[in-house]
Amino acid sequence: MSVTEFSIPQKFKTNRKGPIRWVLSHAVHNWYLILIATLGALLNAALMSVAPKLIGNAYNLITAPNARENLENLGIIALLLGGTQLIRGGMQMIRNLGFELVAQRTERNVREELYINLLGKSMTFHSLQPVGDTMARATNDVRQVNFLFSPGLNIVIGSLNFLIMPLILAPTYHPALIITPVVFIIFYFLALWEYMHSLSPVTDRVRSTFGKLNTRLAEALDGIETVKGASQEKAEVSLFTKNASGYKEAVIDQGKIEARFLPLLLLSTALAGGLLHALLLLRAGEVNMGQVIGYYGTLMMLDFPTFSSLWAYSQIASGLAGARRLLELMNKENNLDQNATGYDHAMQGEVEFKDVCFQYESGDPVLDGIQFRVKPGQTVAIVGQTGSSKTSLVKLINRTYDVTQGQVLVDGLDVREWNLEALRKNISIIEQDIFLFSSSIAENIAFGKPHATQEEIEAAARAAQADEFIRTFKDGYQTVIGERGVTLSGGQRQRLALARAFLTDPRILVLDDSTSAIDSATEDLIQRAIHAATRGRTTFIITHRLSQIRWADLILVMRKGRLTAFGTHDELMKTSEAYRRIFSET
């Protein structure tokens, strides 16, 4: 079972050792609904089986020599037929409603379990897992689990009762007449086993190709500026068409298997054979015509399970394929543990790296032998060429990633010994690519502190030099910004991110090249905000800006994942050729 860095107690524990066990572990918590629905299905089939018997009896009464004297009995049969079928309709409604409730509740619980699990995954997982595929699983595959119950199991359980009734009623006409339903049921289940065996890998391929299709669609839309900027619309359409064709071929293959559904042929054979057998018994004088009619009507009950299973078992196969894909996602191992009982006292902000090495799950080392110490309240500038792993270094502090070797200490304590929530609440990272939600400016600022008052939000915005531009909008702090903040300039997004950091009042602040693509006027505003933000906080600044490097208490010089030099600006100008080269190019 995977270990998560974040978790919310679930309503119940599920068994993730296989798709069937997992689905059942969800379904069992709605056992009373399944019981009621199954009872409704049983009574529905039982009342359906009454109809052919009553019709057969009515035929005998009508064709009898004294038919006029049987009018009262015919009236009773008519009332019984109407009454039983009316009740049968109610039982069918109970069956459908019961399984639909189970399906909807299961879908809700599966979505909740999956969402909690995804939030608990490490950044290593999210960096490697395509968003489009995750969305396909979280939407379409979860929906397939719903369909597994309704109409899938709903129809299957209902139809199984229609198989049982001919076995019970056939001997009441003549003991020998049980042969046809018995033989049919044996061959039916053999054919069904072969059908499911052939269908399973194809439904897996249908779900997989849909995930691939959705992955590329999400990537193309997310990178629409890149696609249009490079005039690659035709190439993307071609690739999408190729993926859509792959999905289409998988669906067609599934349709071909469904078209070769053998029980349809078995049903025709059973009906013909059963009728012939009954007529032979009629000729021998062992049954009457009313019994032949009743028996054939009973055999016709095999029609429902035969035709419905063509679709219902396909839904079950698709639902299990979806469940397999969801489990594959949820069961992927994590390296991070939230350590709920870990250290959670007030943070001072001291940071120390002790012989730290780090690499992603597969690949060469990203950081090697990093060692330095930062006192509380100091400002640290991290410099180095692109690809020198500056960002990877700072993301070890809040355990976005965990070290492969060595230790990262905060206040003298290994970060893995901290309560993860307490650790991260005291560390704020503002990245170059700032993420904002499609909600109001106030809600974006208060994201890390949802219950903040309007006064607190505005104070944080003023400190971040953001209040002035916010008030230029018609709706002020209630202005709804576009997804990822596309309606704002880069400088505005960065100041909102700083306001978010001010509001949460972190002890450690990380600024990842946050002034890389802005004009000088905007930079001046952000520099003021940064100066305000660094007061009383340990601050790490990844930057190439000379103005930010010079006033840092400590400068780290990175090259190819190694710390080649560290010290103050004056010290490094004297001792580090690499730093002098970086400084001269800045």
The mean predicted confidence, pLDDT, of the chain is 85
Tell me: pLDDT of 7 over 60: no
Please name which of 435, 195, 190 lies closest in space to residue 310, comparing C-alpha atoms.
195
Range 117-146 average pLDDT: 82
Q: What is the biggest distance separating any 2 CA atoms in the chain, rounded to whole angstroms?
A: 125
The CA distance from 272 to 282, in Å, is 15
pLDDT of residue 507 exceeding 60: yes
CATH superfamily, with its number, for domain 19-330: ABC transporter type 1, transmembrane domain (1.20.1560.10)
In single-letter form, the type of residue at position 125 comes to F
* Residue 212 or residue 99, greater confidence: 99
Per-residue tokens: 527: 């520099």
244 vs 337, residue with greater confidence = 244
d(CA 145, CA 107): 7
Q: 129: which 2 tokens?
A: 């897992």
Q: How many CB atoms lie within 10 A of CB 562?
A: 15
Segment 111-122 shows an average pLDDT of 84
- Going from the C-alpha of 438 to that of each of 225, 468, 476, the distances in angstroms are 19, 21, 15
Tell me the mean pLDDT in the region 60-77. Answer: 79
pLDDT in tens, 40-51: 999 999 999 999
pLDDT digits (tens, 9 = 90+) for 92-112: 999 999 999 999 999 999 999
The residue ranking higher by pLDDT, 65 or 569, is: 569
pLDDT of residue 23: 92
- CA angle 370/395/374 to nearest 5° reads 50
pTM above 0.85, yes or no: no
- 557 has which bridge partners? 383, 565
What is the per-residue pLDDT for 409? 94
Q: Compute the distance between CA of residue 146 and CA of residue 408 in angstroms, rounded to an integer.
A: 45
Q: Looking at the DSSP assignment, which residues form a beta bridge with residue 297?
A: none
Instruction: Compute the distance between CA of residue 149 and CA of residue 133 in angstroms, rounded to an integer.
Output: 24
- The pLDDT of residue 52 is above 80: yes
Which CATH number does 351-585 carry? 3.40.50.300
Domain boundaries, the chain: 19-330, 351-585
Q: Does residue 2 surpass a pLDDT of 50?
A: no
* Angle value at C-alpha 124, between 118 and 126, nearest 5 degrees: 40
